[in-house]
Structures are given as structure tokens and as C-alpha cells.
Amino acid sequence: MASAVSLAGLEKSYDYVIVGGGTAGCVLANRLTEDKDVRVLLLEAGGDKTTDPLVLTPGLVPAVYGKDEYDWNFQSVPQSTLNNRIINQARGKMLGGSSALNFMMLVYPSKASIDAWAAVGNPSWNYEALKPYLKKFATVDVPSASTKDICALTYNNDTVAYGDGPVQVSFGEGYGVTNKGWFDTFASLDLLSKTDARDGQALGAFQNANSIDPATKTRSFSAVTYLTAEVRARENLKILTNTHVNKVLFDTTGSEPVATGVEINVNGTVSQVSANLEVILSAGALQSPQILELSGVGGKEILAQHDIPVVIENPAVGEGMQDHPIVCQSFEVNEGTPSGDVLRDPAVVQALLDMYTADRSGPMGQLTISVAYTPLVNKTGVVSDECVQELFAGRDFSNPARAAVRDIVANPNEPTFQYILFPTQVHIADKPENMATHLIPVEPENFLTIMTILNSPFSRGSVHIQSSDPKALPVWDPKFNDDELDMELLARGVQFVENLVAPDTAMGKLLNQTGRRLPQLKGDDLETAKEIVRQRQISVFHVSGSCAMRPRDEGGVVNERLQVYGAKKLRVVDASIFPVEPAGNIQAVVYSVAERAANLIKEDRKAGKV
């Protein structure tokens, strides 16, 4: 019987030990235990919050941020290109990981952004290889007629649910004049999507679905959907929460180190558990590399600083970190234009909670964010091929990853940017205490926010241990805009926002044209747009790439079967293996990679390759 309480019943060994019960780890625990002959131990540092209303209620997302029982609450080092501001990074510290505290947006990647994985040395990982798994992980409900009408879902002809996977996905209700204004504005700019992003190519405004169960109006996340009561009842699955993994254990007596298990800490009690077949790290892009370094896998200089013996030298561990930069511009709305800022009033919050509790009606069970994909744009619209080439002229693209990103940005049929219509104001602090700092309305006026995301950044950051103490968070340095091309691109994306909020657009007519902006700047010229980036860019949760799947001599940490170079019986399965950041919100790709990884692991076991 699966347990999530104590060390009671913990055996000395399991076939697979999965470190991290997050988005990917829950998928693996489910799929690997489909074989009754395989025994799996799933270890999670946080608790089990699968019945917690703060996690399950879609409208209460900000309530979990910064709270130790839910959120690792990472803070970056000061970012020199962002006025030395510190950037917050919420990370799920509970069963389900970040699928339990993200904004539930279900956005599919572009074909080109996944094909880039093959282009950088992973021929078996392209869009066609991942596509079956993009459908396998979820069941997408059919949008209602009213949602299709308001959100211009003309290309969605579903009459039955799409897919039959565990994660329940819906379009929901509650869309209104602001969403219609969004789609009408993009239509006037000839940027309304005519194709379905699920097919790998979409440009223009479209309505994303959300990981919200349409039957219960609750968050549908990995711990609820992949670790159902039936799955937890499997005799070959053991779940331990509130269990910190100190390091991976190795047998170094042979020609190549062999992962033999892990050292764990439960309430101060340190013990060891053996893995007969494999140890699988699914601790996320910030903590899988941390565990590798604590275990002696990493750059020798970093390990030497903390007196950790080198087991496998690989300076690529913790490097290559990628993240989607997001610039948040808030605009005061006209009186009568709906804004989520009314939630500053506790009485309004309570009334909406009462509605939700009574019959699951109202905004607390919905998400009304709308999005758009665009090619490279600026203040005049879509940038010409000539201007794109001028932007790239004289720059070095000898690195395959840089060349792959350049090819995406240069392609007028690929989404350089993702724009998001967000229903509230966003507050940017120099040193935010947590992600809720950005979301709690502090200005007295009501706002909407338009967010500009660079889908394919050139900059690469890092994450490394700062101590040999396993409970000390590693140092995260995203190095936002370290490659000046990112600033150039983001500034052009910010310029384009002026086209969306102009007085004669449907969006502009919803805004108070003489009212406030956050910041109080117009991105008409490139230098002002860059200042907006410096003042208003943060992270959008999509950290990846720190244990990249690439050839080892090109900065790789894992091979195409996600096995750690230089080790036997050790894999990494989470967003840290992404060699190139995919377009859009990444939860769909994390689920899909985990589903495919489960199949790879099963194949290798049956072939005797572990």
C-alpha cells in the first residue's frame, strides 16, 4: 500500500527510486508501477496537499506563494540588466511540484522549438517523436459555444474530448469584454490565429486551455491525476513525503560509477535506500543539478569549494539555464471595464468564495487569461526579413543552440513572442518577498496587464550549490539579457504593445487613455522600450536546461535516453533536460517528456540495458 506519512514500511531497496514528486516524478511513479513486478519509491521533500483548498481552488493561486509548506521561493542574484533587481522564482514544494502552484495555462509548444532539440544533437527528439505524448498526458474538454464565439476559436472543431490522459483540461467560462477586445484587436492587425496550436504551428491570438477539471472546477495537477487512490493502492509503489534527499550514492569500484541509491533525511533521521535498477532525478531545473553536485557530479572547481569528492567531472551541470523573460505592463481601465483588482476588497473575495463553495460557480473556478503568438514584431508590426537579418548581422552563431534559436526568431512563421492578457495589475518590487508581491493589488486604480514573453531567449544562466548542506538552496543566476540580443528582441516586443493599446483599437477603448500606466512610460522608441524591460521584466516560472540533453562535448549532462553521462543507473527526467526552451508555457512539455521517459525506461529494462 502506497504511503505518504512516515518511514514505516520502508524497504531497504526498490527497483526505481524517483527523487522529486513533482510534475514529472508523479508521471513516472504511475507509469513505472503499471508493471506489477517493478517496485518504485517516490520521494518528495514537501507534503501532500492534494486535498488543500488553497491548491485546488484556481482563483486562490497567489495564496500559496512564499509559504514554506507550498513554495521553495527561490530568489535570484541581482540582475545587472534589470537595474540590479532580484527576481523571484516560485517552485512547488509539495507532491505535484510546480503543477500545484502554476497558473494552470495549457499552451502547446511550436513544432520548430521542439525540432531544435534534434538540431542540437538529439536526432531522436523532434516534434513528431514528442507529439503522441503531447496528446497522451491530458483529456481536453470541448469548449462551449459562448467561449468559441468570444475567443474566436473558429479552428477548434472538437465535438468530443481531445485525448484521454489523466490531466483534465478545459477552456471554461467567464470570458468577457476584455477577452473579446483582445481578439478583436489582434484580428484588426491580421494576427488572429487560424490554426490550432496543438498541431505545432499557430500565429496570432488564440485561447489557451487550462489544467482545470471541468467537472469539479478544481486544479488538475500531477499529484491528483497521476497518483489517484487506485494508483496509491498499488502494492509496488511507496510514496514518502517530507523527505529530503541529501545525495545520490555511488559504487565507484568499477570502471564507471554506478548509482546504487540515495541518502535521505526524514525529520532529522538520515538513512539510505538502495535502487536495484535506477535512480531517477525529477527534482526540477533548480534542484536536480543541486543534487548532482552534492553527489559529486559537476565541475571540479565548484565541488572543491565545498569539499565534495569528484565522482564524475562535468562542468555543464547547472549551466545552460534558460527561462522565458516576461515584461509586465499594466494599464488603467475605464470605469466599467472588468478588472481582477476588485479582489483587493476582502468582502468581494469572500462573496466569490461563497459562490464557489456553494456550487462551484463564479471566477474562483475559472481562469480567463488569453494569449497570442507573434513572429518578431516592433512598433510598426511584423518585422521585415531585411530588418531581421540586420539584427543578426555580424553575430556569432557557431554554437548549434544559438543557431537553432536564431533560425526560430528569423522565421516569420514561428512565434518569437507570446503575449498574455492578464486581468489585474502587476507590481514590480526591487526585492520581492515572493511571487504574491507581484500579484496583490497595491495601486488604488483598476488595471489590466499585457505581458510580453520572449519564447526563444539567447541568454544562458546557471544554478549551483552554495554549500555542502543539502537543505541550503542553490544559487540561481538566470543572467537575464546577458546576451544583448534578448534585450533587443524584448524591446521590440514591448514596442508592439503600443499597437494593442492604441485609442482606436478594441483593447484601447477599454482603457483609460489619460489614466495611469505601470510603468508610466510609452514604448514608442527603442531606448524607452528597453527601460521598460529594465523596470518591468521578471520570470514566468519556466526555468529549464540546467542538465541539458546534448552531446557531452557540447555541454550535455544527459544523453538521448536521459541517462547521466559517465554514470550507470542514473537518469534525469524534468525540465532541466530541455536543450532549448520550448515556446509557450512549459507544463505540457514537462508532462510529455515524462511520459516518453517512462517508455524509454521500460524499454531499457526489458532490453536488459540497465
- Catalytic positions: 542
Amino acid at the residue 41: L
What's the sign of the alpha-carbon dihedral 302, 304, 306, 310?
positive
Angle, to 10 degrees, between the axis of helix 587-606 and the axis of helix 127-136?
100
Distances (CA, A) of 199 to 145, 153, 187, 203, 444: 22, 14, 21, 12, 43
Tell me how far apart the alpha carbons of residues 168 and 213 are, in angstroms, rounded to a whole number. 5
d(CA 551, CA 548) in angstroms, rounded, equals: 9
Q: Find, among 208, 188, 205, the residue nearest to 506 by Cα.
A: 188
> Could you give the 3-state DSSP secondary structure of residue 193?
coil
As a whole number of angstroms, the distance between CA 127 and CA 201 comes to 11
Q: Which residues are within 8 A (CB) of 289 and not within 5 positions of it... i.e. 6 or more apart?
A: 298, 317, 318, 463, 464, 474, 546, 547, 557, 576
Hey, what amino acid is at 391? L
Residue type, 224: V
Identify the sign of the CA torsion 139, 195, 171, 324.
Answer: positive
The residue count of the chain comes to 610
**What are the cell numbers at 219?**
486544479
**In this structure, which amino acid lies at residue 395?**
R
What number of CA atoms fall less than 13 Å from residue 408's CA on the CB side? Answer: 31
Residue 341, C-beta contacts closer than 8 angstroms, at least 6 positions apart: 424, 425, 441, 443, 445, 446, 447
Q: What is each CA distance from 496 to 332, 501, 525, 536, in whole angstroms?
A: 18, 9, 11, 16
Helix or strand (DSSP H, E) at 404:
helix 400-410
Asked if residue 382 belongs to a known ligand binding site, the reply is no
Cα gap 26→196, rounded to integer Å? 28
Helices 127-136 and 111-119: angle between axes, nearest 10 degrees:
130
Q: Check: CB of residue 94 under 8 Å from CB of residue 70.
A: yes
332 contact partners, CB below 8 Å, separation of at least 6: 445, 446, 447, 511, 512, 515, 516, 517
Q: How far apart are CA 392 and CA 370, in angstroms?
A: 31
Q: Give the orientation angle of helix 400-410 with respect to helix 385-392, to 10 degrees.
A: 160
Q: Which backbone phi and psi does 197 adopt, to 5 degrees?
A: -60, -20
Known binding residues for FAD are: 245
Known binding residues are: 245
